[in-house]
Chain A
Amino acid sequence: MTGLAGKTAFVTGGGRGIGWAVAQRLAADGADVAIGGIHDPAGLEARAVELATTYGVRTLAIVGDVGDPAAVAAAYQTIWRAWKRLDVLVNNAGMMESAVIGMITADMIDRLLATNVRGAILHLQAAARLMARAKTGAIVNLTSILGVRGGAGQIAYAASKAAVIGLTSSAARELAPQGVRVNAVAPGYIDTDLVAGLGPEVRAARIAQIGLGRIGTPDDVAGVVGFLVSDAAAYMTGQVLGVDGGMVI
């Protein structure tokens, strides 16, 4: 597919898990792709090279904390200098911490909100300014089924992901006049590092809650993100699409 040929995309947290699957999907569709990350700069650079080699597109590896305004500004300056445009932002970077209500610490709340909410808003803000120059763009924010329906032991995380839905709805309204669409994807139980630590019994119990009877893959999510940033979704904004296999919580 080459539906994104000539376009540029930035995927935060693009070096692994869902972000990496999304980066590959967008590159396969023809987009030049910048991937962001913070924990493994060498690994991120290797991923960028792999993308460029495999799909024949231009790539960038951008290291920085999504919640750091200076790092965010530097990231978009890098993209602007390199490509002079930004068509797609996938606000994927996120973190998950679980705790029952009596065990939630203030620091945990701050960490979750800093990455999942503050980071998403800072990137949305910077990306929207670049997109506004061309009067077009598509932003997809990664929320979670937990942000829609909640989950025991997930109060702080679910709150952060519910906030992503709120910011998606508001940004969609504010940016529509500038031709920028903003949607969200709410994955269910997806096979990534975030759930890798769950034991086999918990894993089996989770799968039993899923109508389609299997754990989701990062590619399942990437396919929906690819659709939302494509022209096939040109008349969609402010939507939250569940990618959860019919999971019931």
Chain B
Amino acid sequence: MTNLEKLRGAFVEALGLAAAPADFESLTYRGIAEWDSVAHMQLVAAIEAAFELMLDTDDVIGMSSYGKAREIVGKHGVEL
């Protein structure tokens, strides 16, 4: 499994999405019903577990979209 697939898998699993979205880049915090504040923390946990990271609180708060998540994970040295 590639790192990109891991990241996308974390989104699908943590947000409880019925299926992988056609356009991950369109996913934003509170932009869909499934991505609320509770799911956000589950998403953080899923990403941290997938890549064995511990995100800073600023990253947790700033992870407002799929694109931001990709940037944050990349900042921790994960190649996507």
What total of chain B residues lie within 8 Å of the partner, measured CB to CB? Answer: 12
Q: Are A73 and B56 in contact (CB under 8 A)?
A: yes
Instruction: Tell me whether A54 is interfacial, beta carbon within 8 Å.
Output: no
When distances are taken between beta carbons in the complex, the residues of chain A under 8 Å from B48 are 129, 133
Q: Are B54 and A77 in contact (CB under 8 A)?
A: yes
A-B contact count (CB 8 A): 27
What total of chain A residues lie within 8 Å of the partner, measured CB to CB? Answer: 14
Label chain B's interface by main secondary structure: helix
Instruction: Tell me whether B64 is interfacial, beta carbon within 8 Å.
Output: no
Other-chain contact of B42, A73, A80, A126, A132 (Cβ < 8 Å):
A132
Q: Which of A118-148 contact B (CB under 8 A)?
A: 125-126, 128-130, 132-133
Q: Are A80 and B52 in contact (CB under 8 A)?
A: yes
Instruction: Tell me whether B15 is interfacial, beta carbon within 8 Å.
Output: no
Complex alpha-carbon distance, A177 and B41, angstroms:
12
Instruction: Tell me whether B57 is interfacial, beta carbon within 8 Å.
Output: yes
A171-202: CB near B (< 8 Å → 1, else 0) gives: 00000011000000000000000000000000
Instruction: Tell me whether B78 is interfacial, beta carbon within 8 Å.
Output: no
Complex alpha-carbon distance, A76 and B52, angstroms:
12
Q: How far is the CB of B39 from chain A (nearest CB, A)?
A: 11
Q: How far is the CB of B63 from chain A (nearest CB, A)?
A: 13
Complex alpha-carbon distance, A69 and B59, angstroms:
13
Other-chain contact of A129, B38, B44, B52 (Cβ < 8 Å):
B44
Q: Are B45 and A177 in contact (CB under 8 A)?
A: no
Other-chain contact of A177, B38, B44, B52 (Cβ < 8 Å):
B38
Q: How far is the CB of A59 from chain B (nearest CB, A)?
A: 21
Nearest residue, chain A, Cβ from B37: A174
Other-chain contact of A133, B45, B56, B57 (Cβ < 8 Å):
B45
Q: Are A129 and B56 in contact (CB under 8 A)?
A: no
Instruction: Tell me whether B20 is interfacial, beta carbon within 8 Å.
Output: no
Q: How far is the CB of A122 from chain B (nearest CB, A)?
A: 9
When distances are taken between beta carbons in the complex, the residues of chain B under 8 Å from A69 are 57
Instruction: Tell me whether B49 is interfacial, beta carbon within 8 Å.
Output: yes
Q: How far is the CB of A203 from chain B (nearest CB, A)?
A: 43
Residues of chain B touching chain A, judged by Cβ–Cβ distance below 8 Å, are 38, 41-42, 44-46, 48-49, 52, 54, 56-57
- The contact sample of 11 A-B pairs, CB cut-off 8 A, is A73-B54, A73-B57, A77-B54, A80-B52, A125-B57, A126-B54, A128-B41, A129-B48, A129-B54, A133-B45, A178-B41
10 closest cross-chain pairs (CB), A and B: A132-B45, A133-B49, A133-B45, A77-B54, A76-B54, A80-B54, A129-B45, A73-B56, A132-B41, A129-B44
